[in-house]
Amino acid sequence: MKNIGIIGGNGYTGRELARILSVHPEVNITAMTSRQNAGTKVSDLQQNLKGYVDLEFTETIPDSADVDLVFTATPHGASMKQVPSLMEQGIRTVDLSGDYRFKDFRVYEKWYGFKHTDTDNIPEAVYGLPEFYRKDLVNAKLVANPGCYATSAILAITPLVSTGLVKGPIFVDGKSGTSGAGMNPSQRLHHPNCGESVIPYSIGTHRHTPEIEAVVKDVASNEADVFFVPHLVPIVRGILSTCYAELTGETEQKVLDDVYEKFYGREFFVKYTEEPSIRSVVASNHAEVSANASGKNAVTMCVLDNLVKGASGQAVQCMNIMLGFEETMGLRMPGLGV
């Protein structure tokens, strides 16, 4: 059994980590931190964990927790203050913020607006998308868990870009449930404002844009010029990314089918399907991907649960690889379906 700590245990991603790990057969959660709730039982704040997690929140992870791996489920800019100490102690870490997703810290500073204070550990970070970086994750000391929108868009467009058939920019129309905005209430998330509406935001300026471009280029060995527009939709969980691209010439559907089947045919958590459905994947670590050719144009899609495959489930998938467990352990659960 391995001992696991969660820094930032009372946010949505921290809560989801605890839910998943509480039934994982090979780990024990030995510490969960929350400065505001230190001394409070986890199950008093997260009632779904009654009978599953018998811990109190602490301000920091105590030495008595004897952790083998830590998840940092903290806001952007906060993780880089926690990670150096963990690295010095030799504790393997999966960071769910954006602090280590870019190899060039200047890109991070431009898009996130924070000065990076831990550039020494950036080269250590492995991008935590197992479908593409599985071999690198085996010996990783630090994993940068991908963004939720980025995961969806990368899974949707990388196989297409790899063909070399894309001409010009790829337009990514992303739609996410309200849980993607975190726990803090805001005017935008107030139910009368978002309950019967679709709200575009961060048009062309969303911080997942350079993340998508960098990873697609790295995996597909081709440039991807991405124009990304996210939207808030009145559901709690789930992301749908619909991606539009012009092709260099007329392309038969079979060409795309073959390409996507080659990429994902052996993957347990990514399924190539004709009609992706958010309800098929909610509460699961699964993603569904589709690709449709229409003459000189292509439309690709990906759906996933932003809190699971888009965050905490993917982080556990990475943990499994890092600790030598079967990759799907603790995650073999279908989506709700309805």
* Residue numbers annotated as active site: 148
Alpha-helical (H) ranges within the chain are 12-21, 42-45, 79-88, 105-112, 130-137, 148-162, 191-194, 208-220, 253-264, 278-281, 313-322
CA distance 191 to 53: 31
Q: Which residues contact 191 (CB under 8 A, 6 or more apart)?
A: none
CA distance 40 to 232: 33
- Residue 296, both tokens: 């000189």
Q: Quick check: 298 and 256 in contact, CB under 8 A?
A: yes
Instruction: Give how far Cα 111 sits from Cα of 19, 207, 333, Å.
Output: 31, 5, 35
| Residue 165 φ/ψ, nearest 5 degrees | -90, -5
Q: Quick check: 290 and 274 in contact, CB under 8 A?
A: yes
Site of tokens 């909610």: 282
CA distance 180 to 201: 13
- The torsion angle over the Cα atoms of residues 14, 20, 24 and 28, rounded to 10 degrees, is 20
